[in-house]
Structure formats: C-alpha cells, structure tokens
Amino acid sequence: MKSLVNQVDSDGIVLTTIDKLLNLARANSLFYMTFGLACCGIEMMQTGGPRSDFDRFGAIPRATPRQSDLMLVAGTVTLKMASRVKRLYDQMPDPKYVISMGSCSNSGGLFQGSYSVLKGVDRVIPVDVYLPGCPPRPEALLSALIEVQNKIKNEKYLRKN
C-alpha cells in the first residue's frame, strides 16, 4: 500500500471522513497545562526537554487553562489544592482530557495516610489515563500521551452528544 504522501503525489486526492481528519488534527495538537505539583513535575519538565521532546507529538505547554486541551496532574494533590485543581479543570474549554501522573495523583500514593492529602485526583475531576510510577519515567509519560491520542482518534467528536 502506498503511503499517504505518495497518494497525494500521484493524484492529489485523499479520501477520509470528517471525523478522522478532525481527530487527526486534535490528537496532534494537544496543548497541555503545566501543572507540576511535586517531584512528578520535574519529570514532566524533563519530558518536555530535548531528549524526550513532547513537542514532536504536537504537545506544547501552556501556562493557562483557557488555552489547554490536556491537564497533566503531576504530583501530590493536597486537600487545599484539590478545589483549585477542580477550578482549573472547569476553566479548560471542551474537549478536555486528563492524565493522572504518578502514584500520588492516582491514589494518594505514599502520602495517602496523611491528613491533608487527597486520595486520588479522580475524586475531584474525571481522569482519562492513569500513569503509574513514582515518578514515571519520561518514556512512560510519552506512552500516556500516545494513549490519550489513541483515545481521541477513536472518538466521534461531532456526534458526541
């Protein structure tokens, strides 16, 4: 089978559905909100660096929730922070996705016995991908991003409710 580029080269026509084209665009332009709460935040920055390079998947860090599609909850969420997490999530425009990065964000992790730590970020916001690890390596975070991309590519967004 010829590749997409070769098809364009030969006759200039590519047949696809609107859903697929839209999802291809959405999946490869995931702007993520920089939201490092603890040591996972350092690993997230490392993933944005030249060795792992988040940018090659179209993921660009944004400093505001209003321009973001993806929230990376990277670190321990305290009860004081939990209401802020929810507010930031509410400020993001639809469609929005959440990666819960690391054990603390998934379940409270090492600190779940503490009086001030939220036992899993899914108690305040819906989570698409849970990424285990303490902290996860950059490769694991890339894998989680690709997982979100796969989820987006299989959506029928125009017919979503």
**123 lies in the binding site for another protein (CB under 8 A):** yes
- Span 50-79, contacts to another protein by CB under 8 A: 79
**84 lies in the binding site for another protein (CB under 8 A):** no
Among 115, 159, 160, 161, binds another protein (CB under 8 A): 115
Among 70, 72, 73, 118, binds another protein (CB under 8 A): 118
**82 lies in the binding site for another protein (CB under 8 A):** yes
Q: Is 17 helix (H, G, I), strand (E, B) or coil?
A: coil
The long-range contacts involving 44-53, CB below 8 angstroms and separated by at least 24 positions, are 44/72, 44/74, 44/101, 44/141, 46/138, 47/138, 47/141, 47/142, 51/138, 52/138, 52/139, 52/141, 52/142
**119 lies in the binding site for another protein (CB under 8 A):** yes
**134 lies in the binding site for another protein (CB under 8 A):** no
